[in-house]
Structure formats: C-alpha cells, structure tokens
A and B are shown apart, each in its own frame.
Chain A
Amino acid sequence: MQVFKIDGVRIDGVVACVPERRIDNETSLKEMYGDDAKLIIESTGIRTRYLANSGTSSSDLCLMCAKDLLKGAGTAQEEIGAVVFVTFTPDRLMPFNAALIAEKLGLSKEIPAFDVSLACSGYAYGLYLAATFAKASGKKALLLDGDIQSAYMSGFDKSTVPVMADAGSATLISPSEDKAEWKFAFYTDGSGSESLMIPDGGSARPPEAGHYELREFPDGSKRRGVDVYMDGFAIFRFVASDVSNWLQRFLDELGESAATIDSFVPHQANMYMIKKLARKLKFEWERTWQSGAELGNSASATVPVTIAFDFDSKLDRTKMNKVLISGFGGGLSASAGVITLEPQAYYKFLHYEGKETRMGEV
C-alpha cells in the first residue's frame, strides 16, 4: 500500500454550513414510500436533511464558510497561498469554482487555484493537496469542499432521496513548526464507475432536451438522465467489504488502530453503514463523529461538516487529537487520512440564509 506522508502543517480552522431548506424525512418520504417511510428512516438513521434553494450554488455556501473562517482564524487575504475546491457540482462546468472564490475573497492573482472533481471521497484528497501547497509555499492554503447535489437529484428516486443533502465547508491549512505527521492513502476501482453516476449531460452524452425528462424505472423510481443514479447494493458492498478491509490494512500499515487513534470521522453515507464500518475498525460509536442523522449525506463535504458540527462533543480539549478521516463513494473511490485536530483551532457550524442583497441589485 502506498502511504503519503506530510508533516509541518496544521489545521487552523474548519467552518461548514447547510443551506436554506430543512427537510423532514418523515414528511418528504411519505409520498414515495407510504407507510414504509418510517422503516427507511430507522434503517438509514437519517431523519432530516438540508437542501439548497434553486440557484444557491456550491461556491455560495463555501464562500460564506471561507469568509467566516478567515475572520475567525484572524487570517488576512495576503496570507493565503493556494485555493483548492473539491466539488462535483461546480457553479458552472466552466470556469472552475476556485477562481470565483479567489476573486470574491480578494486573494492574490498569483496563487494556484483549482477544483478537484471527486464525489464522496474528496476531502482527504483536498486536505493532502492543500497541505502539500502549504508546506511547499510556506503560506496558508484554503480548502473548500461543497456540493449542491439537489441540482442533480430527482425528487422521486428511491436510492438517493432518503439520504442526499447539500452543504459547504472551508478548511484552513497552515505551515507549522509542529512535527505531527499526517498520513494518507487512496483507493480507486473504476470497474464500479456505473454504480454511482450522472449518466447524461457529460461529453460522453452531450446535453440534449431528452436528458431533462423524467423516466420511470422498474423499482418505481423516476429520474432524469442528468440526475444522480446510485446502485445502493453495489455501493453498500464497496463500503462494507472493499473499503472496510482497505481501511484496516491502512491502519495496520501505519501500526495504528482504534487503540492508538482518538476518534473516527467517517463520510456520513448513512448511519447504518458508518456504524458497521466503525464497529469493524473497533471504534465505539461514542468515538465516531456524527452529523448525518440531522444533516444527511452531502457527499465529500460530510467530513468537514461533521468536524464543524460535532467537535463540541468529540474533540478532546486537553490535547492534540489524532483522528482517522475517510470518504468513499463514486468512482468507485475511497480516501483516508490519519491527521491531527487541535483544540485551539477555529471550528464553526453555520446556516446559510440566502444570497446577500448587493447594493444596486434589484
């Protein structure tokens, strides 16, 4: 197994937000599932989710988080030396979101700024990339991670509707004298690329009017070609078997285990799956960071969202916390990191209330 190590960096802060609409699953699933709605909620453990109003973009959510983070961490624009934006739902297919963020925050034009197009496995990738930029430049790196999945989600799909949500986040990574070493590993299996995908509207099937029509499928779901399709069982098998074995091997390779690591921050796929995963890796549920029951599954942003949401009950305030983070999903793809979270860093969870009205705008 290839392990990627980096030291001399630390996280100055993590800010995350959820968008405008709080969805109560008991109400929202009733139409599709009837009396089974309660069973579905008990089974996934996801009670409420947050979805964006139409037109609220992934950069809108992340920009609000970034502004709060820079203020909260006391960081000036000129201290930022790189912008990495993890999203598979950018504001537009072109240009990329990082440019929008850099401009709106008033950052230097002479810094790297780019997007990383990954779904649920994205955060550890973003963290590793941001850390390497911070270390190489001696400047801080700003990592944004957020998705508006609802823009590509049918309201009538039995696999995605019960779990999927929107969210945004910002993480600030600084060069540091600290010697704590972060370790990462990555896993990709393209043979499962069709298990979780948006079939139409990419260059393989260029956009056409028919992609926007709802079609009915044998399980009773209705989706457009531009909506996310998920083979629930294939993804479950990937996580319960491949990812959990791979994560165990990652820990073994590092000589780490649930006994040497303080806590586990998993991607909030659904509460049942992460409970099983935590159990297999021997992290008690009390040491497993959670946000999915209240906030749903917002793709790769769930890791920073969970940090910002659950730090109060999970972060040990008396010491540097060594945590395992992991994301897994579309690709198929997984990522993992053993990183440190400091008690004195800036953590904040926010609610996005809509675009600010600008002067002169009607």
Chain B
Amino acid sequence: MKEKKLGWEKSKMEQFIELVAEVFEVEPDEITMDTVFREDLGSFSSLVGFSLIVMMEDEYGVKVSVDEFLECQTIGDLYNKCVKK
C-alpha cells in the first residue's frame, strides 16, 4: 500500500518535471526537484517565469502571484505550490 502510494507520487512528480522541461525546452532528465531553476537551467528570464506561472495555473489550477513565484527557488518549491492547494 505504502509502495503504491509512493509510486503514484513519483509519477505525479515526473509529470510535473515533464511540464517544466517543456517550458525550458530541455530534456526532463536535466531537471530534479532540487534544481535551482533561475541558475541551473541557463535560459531563465522573466518571460520563462511567466510561462511557469501560466503552466501551473493551466495544468494544476493554482494561481501563483508574481510575488509568491519570486520566493520559489527550486523546482520542488514550485511543485509544492501545485500539490498543496
């Protein structure tokens, strides 16, 4: 039961990473939950940031304000916004 739940959580994370990879136009295996997206992915800009916020809203129905977004450092921080609400 526990294992099953873990597996489900993992695929949900994988799904999120795939969506983030699409935004950054990189391969999913270049991204982990610990990736500091403003520094580690090279191509970050405010427009990429806007893309992430819109993706989170469209795919997870969460409205993240620009200020809340600015507090997020890692992909995991973004992921937590999507699964928490």
Contact = CB atoms under 8 A, between A and B. Distances in A.
A42 interface: yes
Nearest to A42: B45
Interface stretch (B6-14, B29-37, B48-56, B72-80): B48-56
Contacts of B54: 236-237, 240-241
Given A241-B57, A241-B58, A236 B50 contact: yes
Interface in A259-316: 270, 272-273, 276
B47 A237 contact: no
A233 B46 CA distance: 9
Nearest to A237: B54
A320 interface: no
A248 interface: no
A4 B47 CA distance: 33
Contacts of B47: 43-44, 236, 270, 272-273
Contacts of A273: 47
Interface residues of A, number: 15
B1 interface: no
Contacts of A276: 51
B58 to A, nearest CB: 6
A233 B50 contact: yes
A254 interface: no
A39 interface: yes
B66 interface: yes
Majority-rule SS of A interface residues: helix
A237 B50 contact: yes
Interface in A29-53: 39-40, 42-44
Contacts of B50: 232-233, 236-237, 240
A272 B46 CA distance: 11
Interface in A224-276: 232-233, 236-237, 240-241, 270, 272-273, 276
A43 B46 contact: yes
A28 B69 CA distance: 29
A168 to B, nearest CB: 28
A40 B46 CA distance: 9
Contacts of B45: 39-40, 42-43, 272
B66 A233 contact: yes
Nearest to B55: A240
Interface in A204-241: 232-233, 236-237, 240-241
Contact of B51 (A39, A232, A240, A270): A240
A327 B17 CA distance: 31
Contacts of B51: 236, 240, 276
Contacts of A237: 50, 53-54, 57
Interface of A: 39-40, 42-44, 232-233, 236-237, 240-241, 270, 272-273, 276
Given A237-B57, A270-B47, A272-B47, 6 more contacts: A39-B45, A43-B47, A232-B46, A232-B50, A241-B57, A273-B47
Interface of B: 45-48, 50-51, 53-54, 57-58, 66
15 contacts: A39-B45, A44-B47, A232-B46, A233-B50, A233-B53, A233-B66, A236-B50, A237-B54, A240-B50, A240-B51, A240-B54, A241-B54, A241-B57, A273-B47, A276-B51
The 5 closest A-B CB pairs, nearest first, are: A43-B45, A236-B50, A240-B54, A272-B47, A43-B47
